[in-house]
Structure formats: structure tokens, C-alpha cells
Amino acid sequence: MREITYAQAINEAMSQEMRRDENVFLMGEDVGLYGGAFGVSVGMFDEFGPDRVRDTPISEAVIAGAAAGAAVTGMRPIAEIMFSDFCTISMDQLVNQAAKMRYMFGGKAQVPMVLRTPEGSGTGAAAQHSQSLEAWFCHVPGLKVVTASTPADAKGLLTAAIRDNNPVIFFEQKLLYRVKGDVPEGDYVLPLSKSHVVQEGKDLTIVTYGRMLPVVQQAVAAVAKDGISVEIVDPRTLYPMDKDTIIESVMKTSRAMIVHEACKTGGLGGEIAAAITESEAFYYLDAPVKRVCGLDVPIPYCPELEKNVVPTVEKVTDAIYEMMR
């Protein structure tokens, strides 16, 4: 174990898989000599050269389409789209092509591609560069949707995604890139579609992921002084999600809250809440399921407004006290 950043963990996962398998390559805007818009691929061009770290045209449709085509013909591309907001330009290639081919060809075609993309607010990049759109992709059968909340998760989940034979959308929250954490050296793989109990508790279950995990952890630490014990569950894979672990946790604590940065309406929190209320856990609930989510507004440019349209430590703390009354 050593401490490295979230960005370095992603770089390490990609580099190790490219050394292990010559069919793995990286493609995207400015991923080569420049090292990526957020510096995630720094050094990879020097090691692997222009054939395996390929700068692409400024066309997200081309990036996603070329990745799907390369994958179905035997390669294992890692495609980077600079901001998740720009995935809107590649939706046909992802939703109608990559997600459908394995099913439509009766399993004879595989699409082992990973589309990496940073999402979320907090950098002052305003409404067109700050969205959290993961729920869109969770609505598409055939796509796997993964998000990593820690540097160790980033390495383990991305390695698993690269080795998977299905198209995986891998979301990276921009504010996590410089966060440091303990990350295992060498080959490190975490299973997809397995939720992680980050912290055990007995009074309330909070389901959260991505940048909201450290926000929730700070809120949980704040209420612990009043004797409130909170269990935190990180789904890691948003689709297909391991809901059993979440349901078991709620049956233990009898209360459930979902915290995510994305807008509340149509967000993944509604799907998780439905899974809880449609299960046996419904009969164990001592309070309605609560969602603490982003407001249904475009992300503002103003720093103070931007900070307050998404869940904060104070908002999560207040919601915990409200549920425990």
C-alpha cells in the first residue's frame, strides 16, 4: 500500500492493463502529449507511443463510435470524453450501437470498451461543463455504469471495467482527481455490481457515491457526537446495481437516505428508493425514505450558488437529524 491520488490510480490502472494486454489502448482529445485535460494520462504517451495513446479529433461522436467499432473487432479501447456533458454528442453511438450490439447478434459480438469521463460541479465551469448525467446511462440496457469514490476504488473498478466484455461508462468526479488515498500496488481488481459497506451503523443507512461520499462521511462524523450511528453504503456500480446489500442494510437500520449530486428529479435516488420500498425492507422502515440531491437547476457559475445547489455537509447533517426525530 502507498498513498497516491485518484488521478494517479486511474493512470496506473490503464498503464498496467496496457502492459498486460496489447489490445488495450487509450484514445481521446489531448490524452497524448498533453496528458489529458485533467492530467490523468500524463506519461502514458512516452511509454506506449502514438499508436496506443491516440489523440482524436474534437468529435465525441467519433470517439465513441470508433471505440465501439474497435471493440467489436477485437480491441479493448479506453475512450476518454473530456467532460461528461459532451457525452450528449455521442449518445447515438453509445445508446443505439455499443449498448445493443451484443444482444442483437445473440452474444456473438462483444463490445469490450470503457468510456471514461469526468463529471460533476465544483470547478466553476458553469452549466455546460458541470452536470451529473449518470442516471441517463443507467436507463439503457446493455451499458454498465460505474463510479469510483476513492483512489483505491478508481484503480480496482477501472481495471475490472477494462477486462469486462461489455461497454462500461466510467464516471470520475473532477474534485476527486487530487484526493489522495491508500492504493494497493500491482494487480488490483474490484468486482463490478457489488456494493460496498463503507462504514457500519445501526440507526440509519445512507446510500451515496462519488464526490458525495466524503461529504456524507463528514456529516456522519458530526452527528456521531450525539450518539447517532450511520451505516454508509456505496453502490460503486450504478447499473446493474447490487441492491441486495442496500436492502439488507436498511432492514438492519430501519431508515434510509440517498445522497447524490445529480438533480433530484429523475436521479438515481428515485430508483434506489423504489428498490427499497418494493422489497421486504419496506416493512422495517421507521420513517419515509429520504433523498438529499442536487436542485433541479443548471449548475451556476457563481461559486457560492454552485456550492449550494448540490448537497453539502450541513444539508446532509440536517437531514440526518430530521430523520432521527
Question: Span 163-174, mean pLDDT?
Answer: 97
Say yes or no: 174 and 201 in one domain: no
Q: Classify residue 152: in a domain, yes or no.
A: yes
Q: Classify residue 264: in a domain, yes or no.
A: yes
Domain boundary among 183, 217, 233: 183
Which candidate in 129, 139, 196, 260 is catalytic? 129
Q: Terminus-to-terminus CA distance in the chain, angstroms?
A: 42
pLDDT in tens, 157-167: 999 999 999 99
Q: Classify residue 48: in a domain, yes or no.
A: yes
Q: Report how many domains make up the chain.
A: 2
The DSSP result for 154-189, as a single string, is HHHHHHHHHH-SS-EEEEEEGGGTT-EEEE--SS--
Q: Classify residue 99: in a domain, yes or no.
A: yes
Say yes or no: 275 and 175 in one domain: no
Q: How far apart are alpha carbons 171 and 221 in whole angstroms? A: 27
Please state the pTM of the whole predicted model: 0.97
Question: Span 31-52, mean pLDDT?
Answer: 97
What's the mean per-residue pLDDT of the chain?
97
Q: Classify residue 227: in a domain, yes or no.
A: yes
Residue 129 sits in a domain of what CATH number?
3.40.50.970
Nearest residue to 120 (alpha-carbon basis) of 169, 78, 83, 158: 83
pLDDT in tens, 73-105: 999 999 999 999 999 999 999 999 999 999 999
Q: Classify residue 191: in a domain, yes or no.
A: no
Domain boundary among 162, 183, 204: 183
pLDDT at residue number 186:
95
pLDDT at 1 over 90: no
C-alpha cell of residue 148:
469510483
Determine contact, residues 86/116, Cβ cutoff 8 Å.
no
Say yes or no: 39 and 165 in one domain: yes
Q: Classify residue 189: in a domain, yes or no.
A: no
- Domain of 205 in residue numbering reads as 196-324
Say yes or no: 283 and 203 in one domain: yes
Say yes or no: 156 and 202 in one domain: no
Say yes or no: 85 and 208 in one domain: no
Question: Span 33-55, mean pLDDT?
Answer: 97
Say yes or no: 34 and 146 in one domain: yes
Say yes or no: 81 and 212 in one domain: no
**Is 139 a known active-site residue?**
no
pLDDT at residue number 293:
98
8-state DSSP, 27? E
pLDDT in tens, 117-142: 999 999 999 999 999 999 999 999 99
For the chain, what percentages of helix, strand and coil (3-state, to nearest 5) are there? 40, 20, 40
Say yes or no: 217 and 154 in one domain: no
Residue 219 sits in a domain of what CATH number?
3.40.50.920
Q: Classify residue 188: in a domain, yes or no.
A: no
